Chains A and B, each alone.
Chain A
Amino acid sequence: MTTGKFIRTIFFVEILKGLTLTFKSMLTPAVTRRYPKVKRPAKPGFRGLHALAKNEEGKMKCVGCGLCGAYCPSQCIHIYTTEGEDHNKVVDRYEIEVLRCVYCGFCVEACPFGAISLSEHYEYSDYSRDAFYMTKEKLLSNWDKYFAGKKGEAYYRKFWRPQSEDFTGHEGQAKFEKVKKLKVKS
């Protein structure tokens, strides 16, 4: 054992170093939130509770093609359609078993009409399982609640890619030259 190591051993140098670090971090501001009081806003494009989109006239966009149900990896979307008056397809029931959903967002990617969406709402708990069996009415009211106003219009354009420019490449892409840190430093 060298002298230096001996001194380090009897004076608990490495433990004192650790304790200094712990003591220092007592003086830094806390990184935690007091959750039920302070809520953390979800980031844009968050994959939360489902909603069925409405068009400008307030009608449901979904036409009942069943592509979301076919793509869904957990197979939690059930669609029942019947024939309407002028031989058009009428969506009778559109149901999502929210407790089985894995929130992959594949339904949004599959939908050819932009009819289903995942909202930024993430706090939903209830005492019964029935509350999580989303019917068409519940899903449509979710749209009113979480996509009110212009939020719904911007939704698909922004987050549910790939869009065609992602296949070809475009000007406004994020790149290193633009990183703000660089500008600050130089």
Chain B
Amino acid sequence: MEHIEKTFETRELTISMGPQHPATHGVLRLVLNLDGETVVRCTPYVGYLHRGVEKLGENRTYFAALPLSDRLDYISSMNNNVGYVNAVEKLFGIEAPERAKFIRTMVAEMGRISSHIIWLGTHVLDIGATTPFLYAFREREVIMDLFEMLCGARLTVSYPRVGGVRNDISQEFLDELYDFVLDFPSKMDDYETLVTENRVWKNRTVGIGVISAEEAINWGLTGGTLRGSGVNYDVRKHAPYDVYDRVEFDVPLGKNGDCYDRYLVRIGEMRQANRIIKQCIEKLPAGPVMADAPKFTLPPKDMVLKDMEHLIHQFILITKGPTVPEGEVYMGTEVPKGELGFYFVSDGTGKPYRMRVRAPSFVHASVLPRLCEGGLIADVIANIGTIDIVLGECDR
């Protein structure tokens, strides 16, 4: 009898999910140990998209390292740019003029909507709903067109500059953005009609990937992933930068910390972002869009073309970089994924001695084993979607 019992022994099955799996949102590789359909152990492997952004930043001047930040989280490059320039401005000790700050807040919230829309589309697509994906990309296209009108690029914008923004906005842009802002809540209602109450969606997300508030804090989660657990932490509220202290918005919070609550939080964030954009347009003051700090900002382009002094400034600032006060600075900003922090150590030259990027996606990827283990293999997809990671930022 003993002999027969041994033949019924089951074994764990190890499968590798990714790095080219379409549902892993990039090049994330998960090695899953399965017992039947239950995940026993989940090990994320990151680094397939490593480009050494931090090291590259040390070999470029503070101005020229800006496009690197576009390529961290490439679907919300505007927010990364705003985070980068805010950190550098804090190090330089300069401040952007009012109008530039309003424009930055406005475009950053556009980036947030664009990022959350793509998250919504892909997350529900992973779980099986195709229609919201197509609708989501329709609205994203409008924002991409607006970005193109604003700065000439659709995805990797490189629009804000240290000390302001690259160019002033046009009236045409403001008109079209206002059209979009007035129109967008009805589009949000469409998404919610399709998804929020849908029983298939609820079965796949309610009670899946539950993480308590205390645990979420201990794992270092930020952004929508943390707020889904009911922790009221938003960098825009607690350490306001740009003009977030002068616009009204609420921070949507979840209760149970499951996939469904995180979905509701992000849906709420999109509505709030829309509200912020509307206020920014209405309150937009007149004035300069670049700080008057000749030591730290590039001179006006038309003056460079005709004036010797400005030309010399241009040469020095571009080749050597600005002369920066020594010291170190950390600046966290709220990007769609969570808290993106830039940490600079300056040795007084035009290039940073050390540039460190605190990438929310990297922290969020580390919580995947906690969310997946003990659950079903189908819920792994839901969990990857719900923490909203982008591997460009995770691997840097």
Contact = CB atoms under 8 A, between A and B. Distances in A.
11 contacts: A9-B199, A22-B194, A25-B135, A65-B315, A106-B63, A109-B301, A162-B297, A166-B167, A166-B288, A173-B168, A176-B174
Given A71-B318, A73-B64, A176-B174, A105 B198 contact: no
Contacts of B239: none
Interface stretch (B86-94, B243-251, B279-287, B359-367): B279-287
B60 to A, nearest CB: 6
B281 A161 contact: no
B145 A43 contact: yes
Given A166-B168, A167-B300, A176 B282 contact: yes
Given A14-B197, A163-B302, 17 more contacts: A15-B198, A18-B193, A25-B135, A47-B152, A72-B64, A73-B66, A102-B71, A112-B314, A160-B167, A164-B303, A169-B286, A173-B99, A173-B168, A175-B174, A176-B283, A178-B174, A181-B179
Given A18-B198, A163-B301, A104 B156 contact: yes
A176 B217 CA distance: 41
B304 A112 contact: yes
Contact of A173 (B149, B281, B286): B286
A21 B164 contact: no
Contact of B318 (A70, A103, A104, A166): A70
B282 A67 contact: no
A118 interface: yes
B302 A164 contact: yes
B138 interface: yes
Interface in B195-213: 197-199
Contacts of B46: none
Contacts of A104: 66-67, 70, 156, 158
A160 B158 CA distance: 13
A113 B164 CA distance: 23
Interface in A99-119: 102-106, 109-110, 112-114, 118
Given A73-B68, A166-B288, A169-B99, A14 B170 contact: no
A2 to B, nearest CB: 15
Contacts of A73: 60, 64-68
B221 interface: no
Nearest to B201: A14
**From A18, A114, A118, residue with most partner B Cβ within 10 Å:** A18
A105 B197 contact: no
B178 A179 contact: yes
